[in-house]
Amino acid sequence: MQENFTDNNNESKENLGVYISTYGCQMNVNDTDRMYSLLEMVNFNPVSRPEDADLIIINSCSVREKPVHKVHSEVGRYKNLKKSNSKLRIGVGGCVGQQEKKNLLSDVPLLDFVFGTDAIDELPDIVEKIYRNDQKIVRARFEHQKPYQIQTLNRNPGISTFVNITKGCDNFCTFCVVPFTRGRERSRSLNELVKDVNSLVQRGVKEVTLLGQNVNSYKSECGAHFSKLLEVLAQDTDIERIRYTTSHPKDFDQELCDVMARNREKICEYIHLPVQSGNSEVLARMNRGYSRKEYLDKVLMIKNFVPGVSLSTDIIVGFPGETEEQFEDTLSLLEEVEYETLFAFKYSPRPFTKAAKFEDQLSEQQKSERLNQLFAKHDEIAFPLAKKYEGQILKVLVEKHNLETGKVNGRSTQNKLVHFSGGSDLIGKTVSVEITEAFPQTLRGKRVEL
Ligand code: 5AD
Ligand code: SF4
C-alpha cells in the first residue's frame, strides 16, 4: 500500500523527496540503499540535493571520527532549509543514533527523529508517525531475540552488489565501538541467502560481496559455517563471482582456504584481513585473539592455498601504550605480508570501549607521525607489488563505460581496478585483459581473446 504521509497534515500531495547522507563503512552504504528502498515503498523519491528534500536522513558512523560533532554541523547547514520548507523533517540513523539515542534530540534541537541500527526496517512507520503526530521519535532498541531475517532490498543492484550475511559483533576488541552500536552478532539463514542471491542473479547481478563485521564467524541456524555458505553459493547458484568482507584472522581456517581453492573460478582471490598491529603485546591489549606469529601463519596458509591472493588490511597506529619498538613491528609486518592495499588509522578513543580508559594515551603528534611513516613504508612496497601484474592476463568484470574516453573499467578477481578500451556492450561481461601498465591503485591494459 502506498500512502503520502503529508496528506495527514492536509499538506500538498506532490511527490516527497528524501536525501540521505552516508558516512562510514560499506555496511552503512548498504543500509542507506535499504533505507531508500523502504522509503520508496511509501512514496519518498530519492533526490540528489538536500535543498530538494522533504526528508533528510544522516546515516552516521561512530567508528573513528568525532561523530556527534559532525551531526551537529551537518544539521546546522540545514537550518535555513527548515525555515523555507515546513514539511522538512530531519533524522539521524546508524551508529551515532544507536550510541547517543535520545541525547541526540536534546543536543541537536533541529532533529526530528533518531533511529538505531536495528530500527531501519521501522523507518516507514517512524516517518509516518513523525508527519502524523508532529512529535519527535527515538527508536534505538536492539532486537536481540528476533531472528535476523531481511531480504536484500536494492533499488538498482547493478552488476555487483552487497549482501549482508551477519550483523553485529561479539568480539569486543578493546578499541572498537561496533559491538555497542551494532549489537550482538547474528547470522541470516543459509536458505534465505541462497534465495536472495538467486533472485539477484535473475536481476542481472554478476558479483556479490558477502558483508558482515566478521563474516567468517557466520553460523546459520542449521549449523552451517561460513565456508559451507561460500561453497553452497558457489555451487548451487548461478552467481559468477563471490567476494566477502570483513574476515577476522582468528576465525580464518584451513576449511575456508580449501573452499576457496576448490571454487577458484567463482570465489575471488582477494582477502581483507585486518591485522591492526604487528606486535603481539599490543594485539593482546586490543583483545584481537591472535599473536603476530599466529597471524603470519594464517597468511602463509592463505598464500599456499590461494595462489596469487591479493591481501589488504586495517592498521591502527598509536594504540594506548604503543612504544616505538612495538610500532616498528607493525612496519616490519607490512613488508613481511606484502599487502597490496592498506587502510590505516590513528587510534581514537571511543565511548564504552575499554581502551578509551587506558591511561597511556599517545599524543596526536605521535599518532600523526606514525601514520605518515606507515603510509610511506606502504608506498615503498605497493608499487613493486602492483608491477607484478604487468604482462599478466586478468579476468575483469566490466562495470562502467566512459563515453568521452572510449574506455571501460571493472575489477579483476584480485580487486584491482582495470581500465581498457571498449564499448558499453561489455558492461556486465567478464573479459580477459592483458595488463600493460601498473599504478599502485589501478591497472591499465588491453583486451585479449583467449
Ligand atoms: N580508532 C581508530 N581506528 C579504529 N578502527 C576501529 N575502531 C577504531 C578506533 N577506535 C578501525 C579498525 C577497523 C576499521 C574498520 O576501523 O582498523 O578494522
Ligand atoms: Fe570491531 Fe573487533 Fe568486531 Fe571488528 S571484530 S567490528 S574491530 S569489535
Q: Which residue has the cell 550510541?
A: 99
Quick one: pLDDT at residue 66? 75
Angle at 97 between CA 89 and CA 54, to 5 degrees: 15
**Element (H or E) spanning 39, and its range?**
helix 26-40
Question: How does pLDDT run along the chain (450 residues), one tens digit per residue?
Answer: 344 554 444 444 457 999 999 998 888 888 999 899 889 888 899 999 999 999 999 999 888 867 778 888 899 999 999 999 999 999 999 888 888 888 889 889 999 999 998 889 889 899 988 988 878 999 988 776 666 766 667 777 889 999 999 989 999 999 999 999 888 899 999 999 999 999 999 999 999 999 999 999 999 989 999 999 999 999 999 999 999 999 999 999 999 999 999 999 999 999 999 999 999 999 999 999 999 999 999 999 999 999 999 999 999 999 999 999 999 999 999 999 999 999 999 999 998 999 999 999 999 999 999 999 999 999 999 999 999 999 999 999 999 999 999 999 999 999 999 999 999 999 999 999 999 999 988 999 999 987
Q: Where are the alpha helices (DSSP H) in 263-291?
A: 280-286
Question: Measured between alpha carbons, how far is 222 from 219 in angstroms, rounded to an integer?
Answer: 8
Q: Is 86 helix (H, G, I), strand (E, B) or coil?
A: coil
Ligand nearest to the CA of 274: 1
Q: Which amino acid is at 111?
A: L
Q: Is 208 helix (H, G, I), strand (E, B) or coil?
A: strand
The dihedral sign for the CA sequence 172, 178, 184, 185: negative
Q: Would the CB of 61 count as within 6 Å of ligand 1?
A: no
No. of helices (H) and no. of strands (E), the chain: 14, 19
**Element (H or E) spanning 183, and its range?**
none
Ligand 2: which atom is nearest the Cα of residue 246?
Answer: 4
Gap from CA of 134 to ligand 2 centroid (Å): 38
Alpha carbon 241 to chain centroid distance? Answer: 18
Ligand 2: which atom is nearest the Cα of residue 176?
Answer: 1
Gap from CA of 403 to ligand 2 centroid (Å): 41
Note whether 42 and 124 are within 8 A (CB): yes
Note whether 154 and 37 are within 8 A (CB): yes
Question: Measured between alpha carbons, how far is 316 from 175 in angstroms, rounded to an integer?
Answer: 9
Gap from CA of 73 to ligand 2 centroid (Å): 28
- Ligand 2 binding site (Cβ under 6 Å of any ligand atom): 169, 171-173, 176, 178-179, 213-214, 248
Question: Measured between alpha carbons, how far is 88 from 70 in angstroms, rounded to an integer?
Answer: 20
**Contacts of 355 by beta carbon, 8 Å cutoff, 6+ apart:** 174, 175, 285, 286, 319, 320, 347, 349
Residue with the smallest CA separation from ligand 1 atom 6 is: 176
* 351: nearest Cα among 38, 142, 62: 62
Residue with the smallest CA separation from ligand 1 atom 2 is: 347
Quick one: pLDDT at residue 146? 67
Ligand 1: which atom is nearest the Cα of residue 346?
Answer: 2
Q: Enter the C-alpha cell of residue 428.
A: 556486465
Q: Is 17 helix (H, G, I), strand (E, B) or coil?
A: strand
Question: Measured between alpha carbons, how far is 92 from 75 in angstroms, rounded to an integer?
Answer: 9
Q: Is 411 helix (H, G, I), strand (E, B) or coil?
A: strand
Ligand nearest to the CA of 272: 1
Ordered domains of the chain (ranges, CATH): 5-139 (3.40.50.12160), 160-387 (3.80.30.20), 393-448 (2.40.50.140)
**Contacts of 202 by beta carbon, 8 Å cutoff, 6+ apart:** none
Quick one: pLDDT at residue 3? 45
Gap from CA of 348 to ligand 1 centroid (Å): 8
Q: Which of 178, 277, 315 to mutate to test the pocket of ligand 2 (most atoms within 8 A of CB)?
A: 178
Quick one: pLDDT at residue 9? 45
Gap from CA of 63 to ligand 1 centroid (Å): 6
Question: Measured between alpha carbons, how far is 114 from 109 in angstroms, rounded to an integer?
Answer: 12
Residue with the smallest CA separation from ligand 2 atom 2 is: 173
Ligand nearest to the CA of 345: 1
Note whether 53 and 92 are within 8 A (CB): no
Longest dimension (CA), the chain: 67
Ligand 1: which atom is nearest the Cα of residue 355?
Answer: 10
The dihedral sign for the CA sequence 300, 301, 307, 308: negative
Question: Measured between alpha carbons, how far is 8 from 332 in angstroms, rounded to an integer?
Answer: 63
Q: Would the CB of 172 count as within 6 Å of ligand 1?
A: no
Ligand nearest to the CA of 352: 1
The dihedral sign for the CA sequence 303, 306, 311, 314: negative
Question: Measured between alpha carbons, how far is 202 from 196 in angstroms, rounded to an integer?
Answer: 10
Quick one: pLDDT at residue 145? 66
Question: Measured between alpha carbons, how far is 416 from 50 in angstroms, rounded to an integer?
Answer: 34
* 39: nearest Cα among 20, 65, 60, 67: 20
Q: Where are the strands (E) in 119-165, listed by range?
A: 137-139, 160-164
